[in-house]
Structure formats: structure tokens, C-alpha cells
Amino acid sequence: KAGVTQTPRYLIKTRGQQVTLSCSPISGHRSVSWYQQTPGQGLQFLFEYFSETQRNKGNFPGRFSGRQFSNSRSEMNVSTLELGDSALYLCATAERGRDEQFFGPGTRLTVL
């Protein structure tokens, strides 16, 4: 099976802009989770989608949102970008969501 794919791999934006990141799960995986990784805060859970519904949510402001499509592909959107949003955004997929997760290579977002 093909692995988890994330696009784009690198992105440079300026403050105030918005960005959309995409994640395509492994075939058959219905759970998609998003994480933010920074040197200061480490890996933090953003949210999880399962069958097009947000099932769990971490402690992030409303500027961070997501959605999942009927083919399980997921997008994450960050509006009104701040410098502190610079991070590696990782997507992880699983068959059900509570066991082994398979991670994509990540999208490196730089906010200038």
C-alpha cells in the first residue's frame, strides 16, 4: 500500500495570510489526525477526523480548522497566520484512530 502523503512539503507564507495543507491517508484508513511540531512545544495534537466528522480536538485556537472528505482525504486550514505558526505539520492516519498511527512526511510551514 502507498504510504501517507502530504502536500505541499514546504510552504512559506507571510503573517496574516491563510494556508491549506492536504493529507491523503493509506487506503482503508478512515481516521486522520493532525499534529503540530515545534522545537519549543514538541508534538501537539490538533484534531482527528473519522468518517468526515471531527471526533477529537486539541487545545488550539479557532484559526486552526480541518475537514475530511468522503474518500478520507483531509485538509487542514490555518487562517490569519502568526509567526508562531511556523512548524512541521504532521498528518497521521489509522484504521480506527486509537492504535497504531502511520505518519506522513509532514509539511514544513514557515511564516515570515
Partner 1 sequence: SQQGEEDPQALSIQEGENATMNCSYKTSINNLQWYRQNSGRGLVHLILIRSNEREKHSGRLRVTLDTSKKSSSLLITASRAADTASYFCATDGASGGSYIPTFGRGTSLIVHP
45 and 35 Cβ atoms separated by less than 8 Å: yes
Toward partner 1, which CB reaches closer, 70 or 99? 99
23 binds partner 1 (CB under 8 A): no
2 and 26 Cβ atoms separated by less than 8 Å: yes
Toward partner 1, which CB reaches closer, 51 or 80? 51
User: Taking the complex as a whole, how short is the minimal distance between the CB of residue 35 and partner 1, in angstroms?
Assistant: 8
Please select the residue that binds partner 1; options are 24, 68, 72, 101, rule is CB under 8 A.
101
User: Taking the complex as a whole, how short is the minimal distance between the CB of residue 52 and partner 1, in angstroms?
Assistant: 17
Identify residue 28 by its one-letter amino acid code: G
For residue 75, give the nearest of 49, 100, 101, 95 by alpha carbon: 49
Distance CA 109, CA 70 (A): 26
Identify residue 84 by its one-letter amino acid code: G
43 binds partner 1 (CB under 8 A): yes
Distance CA 50, CA 68 (A): 8
Distance CA 28, CA 61 (A): 30
Toward partner 1, which CB reaches closer, 5 or 79? 5
Toward partner 1, which CB reaches closer, 15 or 59? 59
Q: Which residues make up the interface to partner 1 (CB under 8 A)?
A: 4, 33, 35, 42-45, 48, 55-56, 58, 88, 90, 92, 97-106, 108
